[in-house]
Structure formats: structure tokens, C-alpha cells
Structure 1
Amino acid sequence: MPHLALYTFGVLKSPLADPAPLTREFYDVGEVVYRKISQHPGYLARAEAVDGDQGMLFEADWGTWGEFAAPTWYSKGQTAETTALATTLSLWTDLRPVFDAIYTGPHREALNWRYDWFERTGHPNYVFWWVSDDVTPTWQDGVSKLEHLHAHGSAPDAFTFHHAFNPDGTPTRIKGIGSKSDQVR
């Protein structure tokens, strides 16, 4: 059974090392969100640095998730002091569970703060694609898929919730935002 890969990327207004309250709040909320999402039905795994250090994205050992990479439009720093991005790479069983995890609970609440934390770049901030159940996507896979989505729009190998595809490449849609009674068709 294929798994759904999800790569998210956002450019932060200030570096991760910034001691300002807004940055601390971003970390605090992020920890709550990750904890809740990791318990959500349909969640399989996410890329985590082997050493677990916050802000050490480019220098970290990501194990089977590969060497860290960022889209070409990211132009801020790459050191622990200057990195100003937030990104995730995760695996899910299907679209409905990830949709519900993002648009309900703590993550939904965190979305209310996104314009306080993130710059508006004009680029997509997430992309999905299907992988075989024995494949661990890499950071470079995520970057390539996000850049492809930006350049060409949704396609079976790089898509969004609004223009989603089944593993066989046929279009699908998700009805309702966070409604448990709605099903992925």
C-alpha cells in the first residue's frame, strides 16, 4: 500500500535562534503540534534530526531522510544563528488523516499565527506525493516536488489538497474542511 509523503516549507520572519518572544512561541506551539500530530491516526513518521537540535537543519544528520535541502527561493542563512525557515517531511497513510490533523486541533490553531511567524513568499508552502511503502522520502525529494508544483501546478507526482490525486494518478477531492462526516472521494 503506498504512503503519502508531505513536505512543508516556510520562510520565517526571524531566525530560529532569535530570542524574541514570537520565536519562542513558535517553538513552544511547534512542540505541542508535533506531539499531537504524531498521535494522529494515519500518521506514520517524520524526519527528525538524529541529534535532535533545534535550528541545526543544514548541519544535522537526518539519517534515512537524507541530507537537508531547501528550495532555491530560500535566500536567508544556513547556520544555526541565521537559519530562518520551518520545514517538515512526513509520511501518512492517506489524504483524509493528514487533512484532519492539519485542519483540527493545535495545528489549526497554529495556522492563525502563520502570518505573524512566516513571510508571504508567493511560493507554495506544502506538497504531497505518493511513495511505495518501502520508500523513505528525502529532503531533496521534497524540495524537488515543491519546486515542480510551483513551476507546473498540481500533477499526480506533486499536488495539494485542492488538486489532489490518488496513488493511481486519478484526481480526487476532499470534501469539507475538517468535517469527520465527509470522506475522501
Structure 2
Amino acid sequence: MPHLALYTFGVLKSPLADPTPLTNEFYDIGAAVYQKISQHPGYLGRAEAAAGDRGMFFGADWGAWGEFAVPTWYDKGRTVETTALATTLSLWTDLRPAFEAVYTGLHREALNRRYDWFERPEHPSYVSWWVSDGAIPTWQDGVSKLEHLHDHGSAPHAFTFHRSFAPDGTPTRIKDIGPKSDQVH
């Protein structure tokens, strides 16, 4: 049975190594969010560096998740002192559990404050796609999918929760999300 890969990417206003209270708050909330999400039904795992300091992404050992990569539009630092990004790469059993983990609970609370920490994006902040059972998506897969989503919109191989696709490539909807027919946009 295929699994859902989910890649998220955001550019922070300040480097992760910045000792300001706001950056420390983001880091602390992030640690709590990771702990909660790892206990969520449908969660299978996420890319974690074998070892590293706060803000260490580039050059870290990510094991089966591959070499760390970022979208072409990321133009900030790449050292532990200057990295200003937050990103995740995770695997889920299906769309619904991933959606619920992202848009409920502690993660939802953090999303409500995202502009305290993140620059306002001109690009998508996440992308999903299906991988075969036993496959581990790589950072480069996530970057390629996010860039494709930005350039071409949702497709069976790179989509959002609101414009999602089933593993066979047919359009699908997660019940109770997306615009209602009576809403005007």
C-alpha cells in the first residue's frame, strides 16, 4: 500500500542560531510539535539527522532520506550560524492523518503564529506525493516536488491537501476540507 510523503519548507525571519527570545520560542515550540506529531495515528516517520547542532541541516547525515537539499528560492545562510529555514520530510499512512496532524492541536496553534517566525512566502510551503510501500523519500524528492507544485500547480505527483490525488492519480478530496460550494473567493 502506498504511503504519503509530506515535505514542508519555510524561510525564517532570523537564523535558528539567533539567541533572541522569539527564535528560542520557535525552537521550543517546534520540539514540542515534533513530539506530538510523532505520536499521531498514521505517522510513520520523518527525516532526522544522525547528530547535529541547532540549525545544522547542510552536511548532516540524513541516512536513507538522502543529502539535504533546499528549493532554488532559498537565498539565506547554509552554516549552523546562518541557516534560517524550517523544513520537514515525513511519511504517513494516508492523507487524512497527515492533514489532521498539521491542522489540529499544537501544530495548528503554531501555524496560527507562523508569521511571527516566518517570512511571508511567495512559494508553496508544503507538498505531498505518494511513494510505494517501503520507499523512503529524499530531501531532493521533496524539493523537486515543491518546485514542480510552484511552477505547475497540483498534479498526481505533487499536490496539496486542498487539491489532492489518490495513489492511482485520480483527484480526491479529504472530507470537510477545501472551499465549500457556497463560499466565494
Q: How would you bin the TM-score normalised by the shorter chain?
A: over 0.9
Q: Note the C-alpha offset of 1:54.
A: 2.2
Match of 1:53 in 2: 53
Structure 2: distance between partners of 1:84 and 1:126: 17
Q: Note the C-alpha offset of 1:175.
A: 2.5
Structure 1: distance between partners of 2:32 and 2:137: 24
Percent of residue pairs bearing the same amino acid type: 80
The within-5 A match list for 1:58-77 is 58-77=58-77
Match of 1:119 in 2: 119
Corresponding letter in the other structure for 1:63: G
Structure 2: distance between partners of 1:133 and 1:60: 26
1:28 aligns with 2:25: no
Q: Note the C-alpha offset of 1:112.
A: 1.2
Q: Note the C-alpha offset of 1:120.
A: 1.1
1:88 aligns with 2:123: no
Match of 1:163 in 2: 163
Count matched residues: 177
Corresponding letter in the other structure for 1:98: A
Unaligned runs of 5+ in 2: 178-185
Q: Note the C-alpha offset of 1:172.
A: 0.5
1:78 aligns with 2:71: no
Structure 2: distance between partners of 1:70 and 1:130: 20
Go from structure 1 to structure 2 and tell me whether the alpha carbon gap of 1:29 and 1:39 turns closer, same or farther (over 3 Å shift). same
Q: Note the C-alpha offset of 1:121.
A: 2.4
Q: Note the C-alpha offset of 1:59.
A: 1.9
Match of 1:148 in 2: 148
Unaligned runs of 5+ in 1: 178-185
Corresponding letter in the other structure for 1:77: G
Deviation larger for 48-57 or 149-158: 48-57
Q: What's the TM-score, normalizing by structure 1?
A: 0.94
Structure 2: distance between partners of 1:114 and 1:175: 25
Aligned-residue Cα RMSD (Å) equals 0.8
Structure 2: distance between partners of 1:63 and 1:53: 17
Corresponding letter in the other structure for 1:119: E
Q: What's the TM-score, normalizing by structure 2?
A: 0.94
Q: Note the C-alpha offset of 1:52.
A: 4.4
